[in-house]
Amino acid sequence: VQTCALPIWPMSLAIRILGLDPGLSAMGWGVIEVSGTRLGHVAHGVIATKPAAGLAYRLMALHQALGEIIASHGPTAIAVEQAFVARDPQAALKIGHARAVALLAAAQAGLEIAEYAPNHIKKCVVGAGHAGKEQVQFMVKRLLPACGVTQADAADALAAAIAHAHLSTARTRKVVGE
């Protein structure tokens, strides 16, 4: 069972986490910094691709944009939301392509990579695994008051980063306490 405890990083050690909400048309991203028990907003946005460009060029655009975000913000870890597709195999395939690009960009940059189920991210941030997008966005704004996030994809990405901060801390405490 994974818990969502508040982060307790050493005060002198700040880490940056890039959260991603993969999508082929729109990939949300958000960078946070964790220092001690504080979460801080660094940046967020949405990478948009045009369907008319064709699959290969859309994937290339995602890869290039992610490389620029990683180079610009210097994260040490990446938290990627796992795909959730109830009925549409075509949507699952498109999200799978976008996730592969995200994982490739992270591996090329030598980042720690973590993947989380959408329900787990929601539980960490909102307290309920079946929370709606509006609830996630509201709690992200509460946890990161300076972020001013207005796009649901970016809010979901910031939520993934927050969940990773919480879960990484829980693992660190367990190892240190053993």
Which segments within the chain are labelled E, that is strand? 14-21, 26-35, 38-48, 77-81, 112-116
Phi-psi region of 82 (alpha: psi -120 to 50; beta: other; left: phi over 0): beta
Look up residue 31 and give its two tokens: 């960078």
List the strands of the sheet with 38-48, edge to edge: 38-48, 26-35, 14-21, 77-81, 112-116
- Provide CB contacts within 8 A for 126, sequence distance 6+: 135, 136, 139
Active-site residues, by number, are: 21, 81, 153
Residue with tokens 């490389």: 67
Strand partners, 81: 116
Check: CB of residue 8 under 8 Å from CB of residue 36. Answer: yes
